[in-house]
Amino acid sequence: MIDSMDALLPDAVAGIDVGGTKTHLALSAGGRILREAVVPTPQWRTGRPQLDGPALAGLVTERLGRAAAAVPLGVGAHGCDSTEQCAALASSIAAHRSGPVRVVNDAELMPWALGTPGIGVVSGTGAIAVARDEDGRLVRSGGWGWVLGDEGGAAALTREAVRAVLDALDRHETADPLVPAMLAAFGIADPADLAMAVTRGSTAESWGRHAPVVFAAADAGSPLAAAVVEQAAVDLADCVRRLLDLDVPADRVVAGGSVITAQPRLRDRFVAELNRSHPDLAVAILDRPPVAGALALAAAALEGN
């Protein structure tokens, strides 16, 4: 547990990055991480604020210590896709702790982590771009979920790669390296079983874990995989462009998440696409855990901002 000295630090803050797959909690003071923990998001999340609020408050005290219940808390939550949803979760958390709470969409943690306002982009298990309008209300683009969208996220990359392979199989074209790679990824010997195997494992996490196969196939010379990654980068950039078309007050984009930070093929193409269409827009890739943005959000609450 956090000892009494840490409990009394006046600038202590807590932060939570709630992703689609994992939840990262941290407690810091004086620019130093005192304690942190990572737990699977499906382990506690129900999608109902009245249940998720006390669950998150409980995780804070369980993983960061009882003293953490009294310090400012910043939360970036996957699935909080409107101003009202963020407010509902914040209210539910606040009812179970004594310290102040601020909740934003998890993509908003990206610019917060670099200490600057702007458009936040997540490319992890899912994908979304968000910003705040002149009235401070949340504006989003993309992030429709792994079944319908989330282009640029891990689950969608796998989905589109499987679609490309199935199309190739329908045309009796099996020479592309992506075809055997995806069959092997899903443990399929008979190509006719691929669609059924993918459907049986239909969760964002189960699909998303195969995304590295797509990048490996592209690097091995697969035109199909390269096209999937190319389209994902364009679609992700389009999410940003739609926000800019809505005149959100932003001149910077900060992107993060497990996919875009780990995969240079997607990252470089995404940056190049935005540089081409909006050369005056500053584009940065987050170089630290997004929970840093949650801690910055909590610090701003501590300072009354």
User: Would you say residue 99 has pLDDT above 70?
Assistant: yes
What is the per-residue pLDDT across 229-262, written as a single tens digit (0 to 9) for each? 999 999 999 999 999 998 888 889 999 988 999 9
For residue 249, the model assigns a pLDDT of: 86
Q: Give the model confidence (pLDDT) of 181-236 as tens digits.
A: 999 998 888 888 888 888 887 777 778 889 999 999 999 999 999 999 999 999 99
Q: Does domain 4-107+289-302 have CATH number 3.40.800.20?
A: no
**Residue boundaries of the structural domains of the chain:** 4-107+289-302, 154-285
Give one DSSP letter per residue of the chain, joined into a string.
---HHHHT-TT-EEEEEE-SSEEEEEEEETTEEEEEEEEEGGGT--S-HHHHHHHHHHHHHHHH-GGGGGS-EEEEETT--SHHHHHHHHHHHHTT-SS-EEEEEGGGHHHHHTT--SEEEEESSSEEEEEE-TTS-EEEEE---TTT--TTSHHHHHHHHHHHHHHHHHTT---STHHHHHHHHTT-SSGGGHHHHHHHT-SHHHHHTTHHHHHHHHHTT-HHHHHHHHHHHHHHHHHHHHHHHTT-S-SEEEEESTTTTT-HHHHHHHHHHHHHH-TTSEEEE--S-THHHHHHHHHHHHTT-
Q: Are both 4-107+289-302 and 154-285 of the same fold?
A: yes
Question: What is the rounded distance in angstroms from the CA atom of residue 303 to the CA atom of residue 226?
Answer: 47
Region of poorest pLDDT, from 104-118, 185-199, 276-290: 185-199
Domain covering 154-285 assigned CATH 2.40.50.140 in the classification: no
Q: So what's the pLDDT on residue 102?
A: 93
Per residue in 16-53, pLDDT tens? 999 878 899 999 988 889 999 999 988 898 888 889 99
**What whole-number percentage of the chain has pLDDT above 90?**
57
Q: Which pLDDT does position 163 carry in this prediction?
A: 92
Residue 1 has pLDDT above 70, yes or no: no
Answer whether residue 2 shows pLDDT above 80.
no
- At residue 60 the predicted structure's pLDDT band, cuts being 50, 70 and 90, is very high
Mean pLDDT across the chain: 88
